[in-house]
Chain A
Amino acid sequence: MMALTANRLIDGEVVFWSAGRWVEHFGQAELFEAEDRAGDAEARAKTETTVVISPYLIAVAAAEDGYAPVSYRERLRALGPTNTPHHGKQAEGGHDADVIARALGAARSGGRIDLIKRK
């Protein structure tokens, strides 16, 4: 499973793709089962050059009671820095943040799909 993420141009905020628009929370992100649909979304996102910087697909897996990014780095992006729990998206708390915070294990620290091909 995959999600599409980027940093928003105007403020650097971590954002996720959700059916044609960008949302700030991973819990609202569109999850893609099919590679072609994910690829289509990525191609469209890449045209939004005045909205986001370098969109890319990340691997997502089922976690306890929800979904979470597979890589630790992406979970950090989705939550915020661990040294300041009152900063970043984690500060708002909620179910989705709890699911990501509890998710264990990690893949490659990049967690990007097609990283090699991309280069």
Chain B
Amino acid sequence: MYQYDAIDRAFLTDRVEEFRHQVARRLAGEITEDQFKPLRLMNGLYLQLHAYMLRIAIPYGTLSAVQLRQLAHIARTYDKGYGHFTTRTNLQFHWIKLRDAGDILADLAKVDLHAIQTSGNCIRNVTADPRAGATAEEVDDPRVWAEVIRQWSTLHPEFSFLPRKFKIAVTASAKDRTAARTHDIGLALRRGRDGDLGFEVMVGGGLGRTPYIGKTIREHLPVSRLLSYLEAVLRVYNRHGRRDNIYKARIKILVAQLGAEAFAREVEDEWAKLDPARVDLPDLELARIRAFFAPPNFDVLPAVSEAFEAAKARDTGFARFARHNVHPHKARGYAIVDVSLKAPGQTPGDASAEQMDLIADLAERYSLGEVRVTLEQNLVLPHVKLDDLPAVYAALATQGLASANIELVSDIIACPGLDYCALANARSINIAQDIALRFADPAKAEAIGELKIKISGCINACGHHHVGHIGILGVDKKGEEFYQLTLGGSGAEDAEVGKMLGPALPAGRVAEAIDELVEVYLRERRDGERFLDTYRRTGLEPFKEAVYATAH
């Protein structure tokens, strides 16, 4: 876990007081809304349809139990008793009052949290693999590097007014759980032939209006040179990125227009001019940061837990939970547990204050005080003993948190959509609820297997619809909500943008159409194929035929 020092804490306190002062000046009429808006956005405070929304940065999705409990406190005290976890592993409160904002930021600062750089044209909260420090798959702990980038990018004066927002993800496993190739910069830690650690640097990915999969511009960047290389990329972007057209301002457009090779050359030229001693992190500082993430003292345990095995044999629900939500841990006798915030019929990513408190309690008792947030809008207890899994499952079930549906059809990503968001054209949540309820039978969902459905209520693609195995985009067709389906997207290591299935469907047809797509898959699939694999083999046609051939 990252640790704040006295300077960090003093800075946050000052920042809270500064914002209180800015709010007071706004309320007194000393500054206009046009002057105040950028100031509140710099503190994560947006105005949405029904109220203000506060977006809180959760650094690379890592939370302590104490922090999660504080978020529950804020939900209860200042909001309507819940929060919404986002695809950028942040937390949003949707019913915030301007008059409370200063107090909320002060409460956040008490647990080393803030809402800085969750808006604006700056480097946003860095994301990382939610299984960091727990999975045996990784070559290094990506949180170390995410924290390095966070410290470097926080309030970086040169990169506070970029042409557009800038998102960075760090993964260290072959299986990518960060959607690295959909980020402005994706970093994948790898070992070179000589065993040295390096980053594969992917640049120019992004979703939104013009989706691109990031291109690799450097196969193996020595880790010690990370910051200077990032600085070179940002400088090239800052210099050449378009500021005249908001729709063409992201780095993905620059990379696409220049071509990845030419862009890489520009970066290399800029990089050569930088003084490594000035920019790159000294070894001592890296060691200090690395110490924050020193592996905890795991107990020495047998690889097999009798209690776990007996519970699986006894309880089919628990056995299903073990199959889908429990993942191998690097320490013998431990497991990584995904906590689904996708109980069919619920709002994807929402957690009540009671649920947050429960997960914080479970983290403290069973997971060394740690919680993670995933881009799939779920939570993770990263270090649970196999022996404790039955107790954790039983406790989760008391708050409706034991859905065994990770990566299944009902584990749907959905942005807040038109129910809350001022940018949305159509609702997302109701569509997610319809689909999840249609596939609420866990045996049916399990028989279908991995199927990632992602829903956005507008082209800005907060719901990552472009990279859903099935993507759903809400559009406004002459004032009515319609939904455009895409197939074959992936945000994982095999990243790909989905292909449009056909004309948009009315809201009432969407869940039914998903059922039809699933039927085609079940009919066509060969041994071991996921939905995505079958689609890649058969192409769009059989799916298209099923949805559009019958007259509806």
7 closest A-B pairs by beta carbon, nearest first, are A106-B479, A81-B419, A11-B97, A12-B51, A12-B52, A109-B476, A50-B29
**Given contacts A49-B32, A72-B479, A88-B50, are A81 and B420 in contact (CB under 8 A)?**
yes
16 new A-B contacts, CB < 8 A, other than A11-B97, A13-B51, A81-B429, are A7-B51, A9-B98, A11-B51, A11-B98, A12-B96, A49-B29, A50-B28, A71-B479, A76-B419, A77-B49, A81-B419, A82-B430, A87-B50, A105-B479, A106-B479, A108-B476
A102-119: CB near B (< 8 Å → 1, else 0) gives: 000111110000000000
- Residue among B28, B51, B479 with max Cβ neighbours from chain A (10 Å): B479
Note all chain A residues with C-beta closer than 8 A to B430: 82-83
Q: How far is the CA of A57 from the CA of B102 in the complex (A)?
A: 31
B464-482: CB near A (< 8 Å → 1, else 0) gives: 0000000000001001110
Query: B479–A12 contact, CB under 8 A?
Result: no
Q: How far is the CA of A65 from the CA of B476 in the complex (A)?
A: 27
**Given contacts A10-B98, A108-B476, are A83 and B433 in contact (CB under 8 A)?**
yes
B414-431: CB near A (< 8 Å → 1, else 0) gives: 000011100001110110
Query: B418–A76 contact, CB under 8 A?
Result: yes
**Given contacts A80-B50, A107-B479, are A12 and B27 in contact (CB under 8 A)?**
no
Q: How far is the CA of A50 from the CA of B33 in the complex (A)?
A: 9
Shortest beta-carbon distance from A5 to chain B in Å: 11
Asked whether B95 is an interface residue with its Cβ less than 8 Å from the other chain, the reply is yes
- Residue among A13, A81, A108 with max Cβ neighbours from chain B (10 Å): A81
Note all chain A residues with C-beta closer than 8 A to B50: 12-14, 77, 80-81, 87-88
Shortest beta-carbon distance from B31 to chain A in Å: 10
A residues contacting the other copy or chain, number (CB 8 A): 28
Note all chain B residues with C-beta closer than 8 A to A106: 479-480
Query: B27–A50 contact, CB under 8 A?
Result: yes
> Which listed residue (B29, B95, B425) contacts A87, Cβ 8 A?
B95
- Residue among B29, B48, B95, B429 with max Cβ neighbours from chain A (10 Å): B95
Query: B476–A53 contact, CB under 8 A?
Result: no
Note all chain A residues with C-beta closer than 8 A to B201: none
Total cross-chain contacts (CB, 8 A): 80
Q: How far is the CA of A49 from the CA of B30 in the complex (A)?
A: 10
Query: B347–A83 contact, CB under 8 A?
Result: yes
Query: B51–A10 contact, CB under 8 A?
Result: no
**Contact residues, B36-74 vs A (CB, 8 A):** 47-52
Note all chain A residues with C-beta closer than 8 A to B419: 76, 81-83
Note all chain B residues with C-beta closer than 8 A to A10: 27, 97-99
Asked whether B80 is an interface residue with its Cβ less than 8 Å from the other chain, the reply is yes
B residues contacting the other copy or chain, number (CB 8 A): 32
Q: How far is the CA of A7 from the CA of B178 in the complex (A)?
A: 36
Note all chain A residues with C-beta closer than 8 A to B242: none
Q: Which residue of A lies closest to B98 (CB)?
A: A10
Asked whether B530 is an interface residue with its Cβ less than 8 Å from the other chain, the reply is no
Q: Which residue of A lies closest to B50 (CB)?
A: A88
Note all chain A residues with C-beta closer than 8 A to B95: 87
Asked whether B76 is an interface residue with its Cβ less than 8 Å from the other chain, the reply is no
What would 22 A/B residue contacts be, using CB atoms closer than 8 Å? A7-B51, A9-B27, A9-B33, A10-B97, A11-B51, A11-B98, A11-B99, A12-B52, A12-B97, A50-B26, A50-B27, A53-B33, A54-B33, A72-B479, A72-B480, A72-B481, A73-B49, A82-B429, A83-B419, A87-B95, A105-B479, A108-B479
Note all chain A residues with C-beta closer than 8 A to B481: 72
Q: How far is the CA of A12 from the CA of B98 in the complex (A)?
A: 7
Q: How far is the CA of A107 from the CA of B477 in the complex (A)?
A: 10
Q: How far is the CA of A16 from the CA of B330 in the complex (A)?
A: 58
Q: Which residue of B lies closest to A89 (CB)?
A: B50
Shortest beta-carbon distance from B501 to chain A in Å: 23
